[in-house]
Amino acid sequence: MSHTLDIISVAGARPNFMKIAPLAQVFAEEPRIRHRIVHTGQHYDASMSASFFSELNIPEPWRNLGVGSLGHAAQTAEILTRFDALLAEAPSQVVLVVGDVNSTIACALAAAKRGIPVAHVEAGLRSFDRSMPEEINRVLTDAISDVLYVSEPSGCTNLAREGVDPARVVLSGNVMIDTLLAQLPAARAAGTLERQQLQRGGYGLVTLHRPSNVDDPATLRMLLGVLERLARRLPLLFPLHPRTAARLQSLGLGTAPHGVRFLEPQGYHDFLALMEASALILTDSGGIQEEACILRVPCLTLRENTERPITVEVGGNRLVGRDPALIESAAIEVLEGRAPPARIPDLWDGRAAQRICADLLLRYGGKP
Ligand code: UD1
């Protein structure tokens, strides 16, 4: 049977890949869909990109725009220009974008200007903090998307407040959790703890890469000081995002404080194994807040706000900002077993990609 729905989806940066993986798999199993992945090249290091494609069995990108690292304006503009040229040559019926990175807004904009319907997966999330580049990307992408797939109820409320027609909004669940649930057995079999010589529950896991935490030397020094004090109670593992590694190097802080172990960026399975076996997660990532919830590992988010409030509502995540006393006291509370267990958010059940696929077929063709 020949396909009746032609979809181009966009993968640009590390947090996109685990969202594209389950969609690519469901699309591949659906004969009515022809699916092609375009990689923008926003992330390009093997450890930030290729390793995810192989571990998550994501098909080779059909094209790679090879954009690389640039300032926000230049990066967004380059992706916009190159993706637009690609659409001119190879139009598709739907362009699907995920998440909130620069690749997301740039490709959504190129498609919308060409009159190609845009589907945004992980729509509606709002931190209400316009100093975050991702918040601007989220607001703009949603404003020009034709169909908005939402991972948690706050997304529907936010979109309704912004006047988006509810007929275009679908509470589909969380595609990143589809990947987590599918990959957990492989992560458990990866031998990560043995390789890192770690005991289950015997360490905390840290990730920090937001400009608001790592770009200001005083803030970064302060956070390292907090980690050093916490590490007297619990050894900490800290895989470094390239941005964070570069900042630490430039400040002469490339050697980890006592009790803290710096690691290279981890692959998907290793990182999942490290999360699942940790006693506590300290992070400024968006996705890790959600993953910690499902794994029932207490998460402290070193930000003033979160665009993923469900993680706090279900008791899996706590916002501790950048207040050293609060970060420490919250961490101690977790270690002393006073943090309540989390509930799993609705529709984070491993079937979000299937719901999205079924909805796309209904809206954009592919009659059975
Ligand atoms: C991007 C996303 C952020 C996401 C993060 C996850 C935007 C606005 N931000 O931020 O939402 O949480 O990805 O990683 O899109 N670099 C490398 N190798 C790479 C990629 C980047 O060394 O493969 C270094 C470069 O020095 C680059 C810096 O990391 O300048 C930042 O990369 P960039 O893609 O601009 O943003 P991220 O901080 O990764």
Cα–Cα distance for residue pair 286/100, rounded to 1 Å? 10
Q: What's the confidence (pLDDT) of residue 367?
A: 55
Q: Residue written as tokens 């699309």? A: 27
* Cα atoms found within 13 Å of the Cα of residue 84, Cβ hemisphere only: 14
> Is the beta carbon of 207 within 6 A of some atom in ligand 1?
no
Cβ neighbours of residue 289 closer than 8 Å, sequence gap 6 or more: 283, 299, 301, 306, 308, 311, 316, 317
How confident is the model at residue 1, as a pLDDT?
A: 55
CB 245 within 8 A of CB 215: no
From the CA of 13, give the closest atom in ligand 1.
Answer: 13
Q: Which CATH architecture has domain 5-174+348-365?
A: 3-Layer(aba) Sandwich (3.40)
Residue ranges of the chain with per-residue pLDDT less than 50: 368
- Does residue 243 line the site of ligand 1, with CB under 6 A? yes
Q: Cβ(270)–Cβ(51) under 8 Å?
A: no
The structure's pTM equals 0.96
**Domain assignments of the chain as residue spans, ordered by start:** 5-174+348-365, 183-335
Helix (H, G, I), strand (E, B) or coil at 155: helix
Distance 241 CA to ligand 1 centre (A): 8
For the CA of 243, the nearest atom of ligand 1: 29
Nearest protein Cα to ligand 1, atom 18: 45
Q: What is the pLDDT of residue 14?
A: 96
pLDDT (0 to 100) of residue 339: 72
Strand partners for 300: 282, 318
CATH topology of domain 183-335: Rossmann fold (3.40.50)
Whether the CB-CB separation of 268 and 18 falls below 8 Å is answered with yes
303 in contact with ligand 1, CB cutoff 6 A: no
Ligand 1 contacts CB of residue 62 (under 6 A):
no
CA distance 284 to 288: 8
- Ligand 1, atom 2: nearest CA belongs to which residue? 101
How confident is the model at residue 366, as a pLDDT?
60
DSSP state of 3: -
Q: How many helices (H) and strands (E) does the chain have?
A: 16, 13
Task: Answer yes or no: is the C-beta of 122 below 6 A from any ligand 1 atom.
Answer: no
φ, ψ dihedrals at 258, nearest 5°? -55, 130
Residues 6 or more apart whose CB falls under 8 angstroms from that of 312 comprise 306, 318, 319
Which residue in 308, 284, 38 sits closest to 150, CA to CA? Answer: 308
DSSP string, 15-35: HHHHHHHHHHHHHHT-TTEEE
Pocket test for ligand 1, best of 10, 101, 249 (most atoms within 8 A of CB): 101
User: Does ligand 1 have an atom closer than 6 angstroms to the CB of 42?
Assistant: yes
13 lines ligand 1 (CB under 6 A): yes
Residues that are catalytic: 209
Beta bridge partners of 186: none
Radius of gyration of the chain (CA): 20
From ligand 1's centre to the CA of 91, what distance in Å?
A: 28
* Distances in whole angstroms, Cα of residue 3 to Cα of each of 30, 33, 269: 9, 5, 33
